[in-house]
Amino acid sequence: MTDLDLSANNQIGAVGAKAIADALQHNSCLNTLNLGYNKIGDDGAKAIADALKHNSCLSYLGLGKNKIGVVGAKAFTDALQHNSCLTDLRLVGNNFDINSRHDSLINECLERNRARINELVQKSGKQLV
């Protein structure tokens, strides 16, 4: 399985997000994970952000409308300093200003990852599908 969509009010919450984070640390095949609308809050966001420091294959993470605040946004800012594969992180509709410093830093890290991956693809001579 490379794509997993658990969005749409599954009520995963922080406890479920922590269990998912544990699995993400050992994940070697999941590329896309959508957890939108699950009320994971800052505690769940921090757990998932921590897992991203150890994950080397997730490229998309959807976390829209999860009641994530500044603490969770900061956790992703920190985590993305150590992650080089995540290229798309959706945080729309959470409890922090989308024009905040953290949002800008997150976008810078994602852009760096995109550029790095494009460079690797160009060097390999292969095209992304």
For residues 112 and 74, give the distance between their C-alpha atoms in angstroms, rounded to a whole number: 18
Record the pTM: 0.88
Give the start-to-end residue ranges of the domains of the chain.
3-124
pLDDT at 97: 80
pLDDT at 122: 86
Enter the DSSP assignment of 26. T
Flag residues of the chain having pLDDT under 50. Answer: 129
For residues 98 and 85, give the distance between their C-alpha atoms in angstroms, rounded to a whole number: 22
For residues 128 and 98, give the distance between their C-alpha atoms in angstroms, rounded to a whole number: 30
Q: Which CATH architecture has domain 3-124?
A: Alpha-Beta Horseshoe (3.80)
Cβ-based burial of 128 (10 A; exposed 0-12, middle 13-18, buried ≥19): exposed
pLDDT at 129: 47
Helices (H) and strands (E) in the chain, counts: 4, 4
β-strands 60-62, 88-90 pairing: parallel
Residue 60, H or E segment: strand 60-62
Residue 88, H or E segment: strand 88-90
pLDDT at 96: 86
For residues 57 and 36, give the distance between their C-alpha atoms in angstroms, rounded to a whole number: 20
